[in-house]
Chain A
Amino acid sequence: MTEGKASPDTEPASARSMAWGPRLGWDRGALARRVTALPRPVKWALIGLVVVLLYALPLLEIPIVSTPDTDFGGVLFTVASYVLVALGLNIVLGYAGLLDLGYVGFYAIGAYTVAVLGSLQAQLSWWLLIPLAVVLTTISGILLGAPTLRVRGDYLAIVTLGFGEIIRLTALNTEWLGAAKGITGVPRPPSVELFEVPHLKWEGATAVVDLDDTTRFLFFGVADQTPYYWLTLTVIFLVLGADRMLRLSRIGRGWEATREDEDAAELMGVPTFKFKLLAFACGAFIGGLSGALFASRQGFINPESFLLLLSILFVAAVVVGGAGNRWGVILGAVVVAYLPERFRGFEEWRLLVFGLALLLLANFRPQGLIPPRRAKRAQAVDEQLEALEEGTARA
């Protein structure tokens, strides 16, 4: 509660926008320029270092970052799942500007495909289940999108919300889908046990390799969830690459134009309906994939795992970070998923804080924590205009 309440007072609107940058070292323009200016080998080395660090994160057991109460590998997996989901939703919400309040439905379809066809009704191999889950989710995204995307913006939010609930209630009421008791024994990814990787142990400021605490490399078991994190992280990198490629193409521009002014985009030759459907399909693809990963880590799912609340949290992740900016969205997902895990004691306050945070963000920072690169400059102009308007209004 205190965090939520304090932010408007301690960070007045004008000071905040300036304070954010230096404090986080986040003058992105300058940072980006500096990185681009680096010689190629250095740049690649830097990126490589970050990647290695991310993979090594669960092994490092860094004191403050690590979660004391729960398995850190598991927490990282949760965070990574949120990041993946947020990247998917970002295509729908951030790029194409379609507010999907039923995104959890895709997550559920992915998870249920793996669970139902891997355990309850058939025993297909995991290698078959994942592509099947993704294909089924993508198809359902298209089936859902084809009629609904003609509906206007805010109605779309409600229709998708309705669909998300219909999917959950259908699972809840259908014996064939496991009904309320859910599905157990969801297949895990096949393990390829190669070697064991030790974790670090911290004694004060020095790190010691702890040979008693090891992760079996690529053993997808129950207790140690680090391998699932590695798997998801790999998927995230692939998705990030794809996201970048799409963004820099005619498709990304088409999405953005559609978001900005649908009629004008259509009249400039953008087949907006097709593009919106494509955004929906891409979003569903990623949502289904993360749902499938979630189910195969969890080993057990029931309709309770797919409450509407989760949709709202996903939207929160995207909006908090800055819809339309993939780094912002990643930050948002990390904030939404990691903080409650780190501060378990505050868990019951988490939704209240989210609610207040959404409210404050929408009102004072509608572009998100890290707005899309260009929105920033525009915002500055807007703020000036607003200040001027207020001045004249008072006069």
Chain B
Amino acid sequence: MSFLIDNFVELTVTGLVLGAVYGLVALGYTLVYGVLQLINFAHSEVWMFGSFAAVWVTVALGVAPGSALPVVIGVLLLALLAAMTVSGGVALLLERVAYRRLIRLDAPKLVALISAIGASFALAEIMGLRDRVAGWFGLRDTLDPYVRSARDNTRFQNPLETEGVFTVGGYTVSNVDIIIIVSAILMMVALDQFIRRTRTGRGIRAVAQDSEAAALMGVNRNRIIRATFLVGGIMAGAAALLYLMRFGVTRWNAGFLLGVKAFTAAVLGGIGNVRGALLGGFILGLAENYGSALIGSEWRDVVAFLLLVVILLFRPTGLLGESLGRARA
């Protein structure tokens, strides 16, 4: 208990940082669920691929920490772009390969879930076997810096040096902390505006509310579904870079745990609810941190899973209520 009190500020800030990442990944779950009422189990791999894209960009550019600020910013922006592109691409691939046929056939939800589980395994394994896959094409040596130790942790060399900005309650809040929390909030606001104001956003809301009526009104449902996957993927790509800036490592199977937690965040905020996703992320991040401070850090994941179970059992519509369709316009 005293540990919690002594480190309250640190736990809170890192909880919010973690929560920001959860929230951005949760968007992918929330959007797809809102539009299709399906749990996109493979969304975790969308994030994972984005994280590798970010790592590879920094490896390719080889910028040492402490470079000039414009260079650092340039590299980070490139990494962000790469992560978003790759994540968005993987999300679209997922829609094409794992979902499109089943959506067209109006297959039972469980079949779609199993399809997504299969896709999730395949994607994670491809990343875990990337050295072998490169070997097929005779690129094993050429690509060595990108594919070596495929089953181990991959480090992200953050070009931005972590610096303290101000100190509160014995904890020095760093520039990275601020960047992560602020960018997550900004992205959430941007997405919220996108959903409310653009034509595609209106289409997403319309399909979420009543897919058939939307189709009758001339909304191209398939296009909207693709757009939904793409937007969710882009957000996951951003989350991947932010995550790496703070935690520094990724791994072929890192997606699973983060995915389950992000899904928890989505449910917590009310699945299908865009604003709820970030709120759910923050609450989950804080709960994990406070919880592990109270009962021991080895129980961190149990706290998250318990929270998930309790929420699903007692308030399955989440804190802010479900429904993307009713996103206040």
List chain A residues, Cβ under 8 A from B309.
148, 159, 162-163, 166
List chain A residues, Cβ under 8 A from B308.
158-159, 162
B179 at the interface (CB under 8 A from A): no
List chain A residues, Cβ under 8 A from B301.
165, 169
A356-B118 in contact given A155-B312, A158-B308, A349-B129 (Cβ < 8 Å): yes
Q: Count of A-B contacts with CB under 8 A? A: 124
Chain A 43-83 near chain B by CB (<8 Å), digits 1 or 0: 00000000000000000000000000000000000000000
A355-B125 in contact given A163-B309, A362-B118 (Cβ < 8 Å): yes
A129 at the interface (CB under 8 A from B): no
B313 touches A151 (CB 8 A): yes
A161 at the interface (CB under 8 A from B): yes
B115 touches A358 (CB 8 A): yes
Chain B 26-54 near chain A by CB (<8 Å), digits 1 or 0: 00000000000011000000000000000
A355-B119 in contact given A169-B301, A173-B298 (Cβ < 8 Å): yes
For window 299-315 of chain A, which residues contact chain B by CB distance below 8 Å?
A: 308, 312, 315
A147 touches B118 (CB 8 A): no
Smallest CB separation, A367 vs chain B (Å): 9
**Contact of B121 (CB < 8 Å), options: A150, A165, A351, A363:** A351
Chain B 97-128 near chain A by CB (<8 Å), digits 1 or 0: 11001100101111111110111111111100
List chain B residues, Cβ under 8 A from A240.
none
Smallest CB separation, B98 vs chain A (Å): 6
Interface of A is mostly: helix
Smallest CB separation, A277 vs chain B (Å): 15
A216→B70 CA distance, assembly (Å): 76
A166-B125 in contact given A151-B316, A159-B313, A359-B118 (Cβ < 8 Å): no
A357 touches B118 (CB 8 A): yes
- Pick from A153, A162, A165 the residue with the most CB of B within 10 Å: A162
List chain A residues, Cβ under 8 A from B260.
158, 161-162, 165
A287→B306 CA distance, assembly (Å): 23
Q: Which residue of B lies closest to A166 (CB)?
A: B305
B312 touches A358 (CB 8 A): no
A158→B266 CA distance, assembly (Å): 13
A154 touches B302 (CB 8 A): no
Smallest CB separation, A348 vs chain B (Å): 7
A75→B71 CA distance, assembly (Å): 57
For window 283-316 of chain B, which residues contact chain A by CB distance below 8 Å?
A: 296, 298-299, 301-302, 305-306, 308-309, 312-313, 316
Chain A 109-147 near chain B by CB (<8 Å), digits 1 or 0: 000000000000000000000000000000000000001
- Pick from B114, B267, B308 the residue with the most CB of A within 10 Å: B114
For window 230-285 of chain B, which residues contact chain A by CB distance below 8 Å?
A: 256, 260, 263, 267
B118 touches A355 (CB 8 A): yes
Q: Which residue of A lies closest to B299 (CB)?
A: A173
A319→B113 CA distance, assembly (Å): 12
A308→B308 CA distance, assembly (Å): 16
B299 touches A359 (CB 8 A): no
B111 touches A362 (CB 8 A): yes
A154-B107 in contact given A159-B308, A357-B118, A362-B114 (Cβ < 8 Å): no
Q: Which residue of A lies closest to B125 (CB)?
A: A352
Smallest CB separation, A271 vs chain B (Å): 21
- Pick from B122, B124, B306, B308 the residue with the most CB of A within 10 Å: B122
B302 touches A166 (CB 8 A): yes
A366 at the interface (CB under 8 A from B): yes
A336 at the interface (CB under 8 A from B): no
Interface size class of A (residues with CB under 8 A): 35 or more
A154 touches B39 (CB 8 A): yes
A170 touches B113 (CB 8 A): no
B39 touches A358 (CB 8 A): no
Smallest CB separation, A274 vs chain B (Å): 19
A362→B121 CA distance, assembly (Å): 14
List chain A residues, Cβ under 8 A from B101.
363
A352-B110 in contact given A169-B299, A359-B115, A363-B101 (Cβ < 8 Å): no
Smallest CB separation, B3 vs chain A (Å): 17
A99 touches B125 (CB 8 A): no
Smallest CB separation, B79 vs chain A (Å): 27
A152 at the interface (CB under 8 A from B): yes
**Contact of A359 (CB < 8 Å), options: B39, B119, B316:** B119
A335 at the interface (CB under 8 A from B): no
A97 at the interface (CB under 8 A from B): yes
A355 touches B302 (CB 8 A): no
Q: Which residue of B lies closest to A312 (CB)?
A: B117
Q: Which residue of B lies closest to A98 (CB)?
A: B110
B114 touches A358 (CB 8 A): yes
B107 touches A359 (CB 8 A): no
A173→B292 CA distance, assembly (Å): 13
Q: Which residue of B lies closest to A351 (CB)?
A: B125
Q: Which residue of B lies closest to A179 (CB)?
A: B298
Q: Which residue of B lies closest to A313 (CB)?
A: B121
Smallest CB separation, A336 vs chain B (Å): 13
**Contact of B110 (CB < 8 Å), options: A97, A173, A349, A386:** A97
- Pick from B118, B260, B312 the residue with the most CB of A within 10 Å: B118
A355→B260 CA distance, assembly (Å): 18
A157 at the interface (CB under 8 A from B): yes
Q: Which residue of B lies closest to A348 (CB)?
A: B129
List chain A residues, Cβ under 8 A from B316.
151-152, 155
Q: Which residues of B contact A (CB under 8 A)?
A: 38-39, 97-98, 101-102, 105, 107-115, 117-126, 129, 132, 256, 260, 263, 267, 296, 298-299, 301-302, 305-306, 308-309, 312-313, 316
Q: Which residues of A contact B (CB under 8 A)?
A: 97, 99, 147-148, 150-155, 157-159, 161-163, 165-166, 169-170, 172-173, 308, 312, 315, 319, 348-349, 351-352, 354-363, 366, 386
Which 5 pairs between the two chains have the least Cβ-Cβ distance? A358-B118, A355-B121, A355-B122, A359-B118, A362-B115
What are 6 A-to-B residue pairs whose CB atoms are below 8 Å?
A148-B309, A155-B316, A157-B110, A169-B298, A352-B125, A355-B120
